[in-house]
Amino acid sequence: MPGKTRSVSEARDLQRELHEMVGSFATDPLGFVKWCYRWPVKNESGPDAIQTNFLEQLGEQVRARCFDGIHTVMPIRMAISSGHGIGKSVLGAWLVHWVLSTRVRCRGTVTANTNDQLEKKTWAAVREWHSYLINADWFESNANIMFRKNYRTSWFVAPASCAEENSEAFAGQHAKDSTSLYLFDEASAVPDKIWNVAYGGLTDGEPMFVALGNPTRNTGEFHRVCFGSGRERWTSMVIDSRESKFSNKALIEEWATDYGEDSDFFKVRVRGLPPNADEHQYIDEGRVRLAQTNAPYVIQDEPLIAGVDVSGGGAALTVCMFRRGFDARSLKPIILTGEQTVADERQLVVDQLARALNEQPIKAMFVDAAFGAPVVVRLKQMGFSNVHEVNFGGLSADPLCENARAAMWKAMKEALPKLAIDQHDHRLATDLKGPGFHLNRKNKLVLESKDSMQKRGVASPDRADALALTYALPVRAPRRGAKWAAVSPSPFA
């Protein structure tokens, strides 16, 4: 009908406005998702809290890197370890569309643990949500690829099998002036060889690597980046299915009844945690779970104790944990990166610990001597006589332990069934379960060293070592009216 058809110039103006609007979300994936889909979709009006949090963190990382199309930036590496039913496949589809819509000549590869998962769930979500895009006509998608029209070979994202013999499909994906995207769904079962080849595509441009999945294994690269030695270089999220509005709560309750919340089945499929470690693990899952659910218990006038594990730099953290009796939850830890630790001759570490000593009624602070000896010296020079140096490899006051570190971990393990720790601090829980152990020829406990743990891909247990340091020495209560004091002299020095 007359007057209903837009002129060519009007159509061009509308497309120009659409390109400008979509392009404005290049550093705002959450804004893209809210604006660029024709909501409501499937009775939903937008992303839920978990998806929103992920997209916000992704946007923050993009803005922090400020990629200018010329100078390569550090890769964005994000992972979600979760139970079932939180909307991971949909989140992956949004990510694909955001990258394709806002980055000229981007390239991407999507994979999943099985061809069935890739075809029927992961890639199916990409194709379904394509139809809801406000700019859907920019792209063509089929079973083999999604690409910008007229740019099939230079502006695309494609699915690929994760079979090890197909590893070459993940090689050579470079986009020097744009984004190279890898999306791994159900990543726990993606072979390590595929991960290693994909890492080669993160060397230029604005690379992004997103891994999503249920933690079905306690080994492998997905476990390493979420819970092991790679976690400091990744932004990893651990999501309990019960926190998602999409999950089947009735079915989850049934699983809890049938299997129990501490079972491997429930941990993997609901809590987003890996199955139990092997029989050589020193601290078991049951003790950690109890500590996460215990209510804090403190006797009147019980002293506040701090334990400090000081980083030597790199991926290891400096951590100060606090404990008062059986309460290791109420006071949040002080955490500094390895870079922050070694800067300016550890001045920030000294400043943060001095502030804690001034602001909190700390009766004793125990500091690991390996990298913390200079910190102890400076704190004592500042007048803090309640700071004590502890040598992990020093003599043990417990005749059943080979050294001081083993003795402290033994005391902590014995306390865990009554201790209260932060149930949301998944890294502390992972650290506690990290070290293995053995008994030497003298039948004394030997805790696995940090070097040994790192060789098998397990992260340095910085948080757990700091908590163990709160058991370095008993802090006794003198007679009424006197001050608390650490037992002296120290057998650990």
Q: Which runs of E-coded beta strand occur in 267-360?
A: 304-309, 318-324, 334-336
Dist. CA 302–CA 356, nearest whole Å:
18
Averaged pLDDT for residues 211-219: 91
CA torsion sign for 226, 232, 237, 238 is positive
Residue 477, pLDDT score: 63
Q: What is the pLDDT of residue 240?
A: 96
Q: Is the pLDDT of residue 493 over 50?
A: no
pLDDT surpasses 50 at 98: yes
DSSP character at residue 493: -
Report the percent of the chain where pLDDT is more than 70.
95
Q: What is the pLDDT of residues 99-114, one digit of tens each?
A: 999 999 999 999 999 9
Residues 6 or more apart from 457 whose CB is under 8 A from it? 219, 223, 224, 228, 229, 230
Check pLDDT > 80 for residue 417.
yes
Is the CB of residue 85 less than 8 Å from the CB of residue 248?
yes
Q: Which of 210-219, 257-266, 280-289, 462-471 has the highest mean pLDDT?
A: 462-471
461 pLDDT above the threshold of 70: yes
pLDDT at 320: 98
Dihedral sign for Cα atoms in the order 446, 451, 456, 458? positive
Plot region of 222 (φ>0 → left; ψ -120 to 50 → alpha; else → beta):
alpha
- Give the per-residue SS3 of 398-434: CCCECCHHHHHHHHHHHHCCCCECCCCCHHHHHHHCC
**What integer pLDDT is reported at residue 5 of this predicted model?**
63
Average model confidence (pLDDT) across the chain: 91
What's the pLDDT tens digit per position in 22-34? 999 999 999 999 9
323 forms bridges with which residues in the sheet? 305
- Mean pLDDT, to the nearest integer, of 418-440? 92
Q: What is the pLDDT of residues 299-339, one digit of tens each?
A: 888 999 999 999 999 888 999 999 999 999 999 999 999 99
Cis peptide before 296 (omega within 30 of 0): no
Q: pLDDT tens for residues 122-153?
A: 999 999 999 999 999 999 999 999 999 999 99
Are the beta carbons of 162 and 113 closer than 8 angstroms? Answer: yes
Mean pLDDT along residues 357-361: 96
Q: Which domains does the chain have, with CATH numbers?
A: 67-249 (3.40.50.300), 292-486 (3.30.420.240)
For residues 438 and 315, the answer to whether their CB atoms sit within 8 Å is no
pTM over 0.95, yes/no: no
Q: What is the pLDDT of residue 279?
A: 53
Residues 6+ apart with CB under 8 A from 473: 364, 366, 388, 486, 487, 490, 492
Residue 93 predicted with pLDDT over 80: yes
Q: How much is the pLDDT for 491? A: 36
Span 71-92, pLDDT tens digits: 999 999 999 999 999 999 999 9
> Helices marked H in 234-368 — which ranges?
249-259, 264-266, 285-293, 338-342, 347-359
DSSP label of 452: H
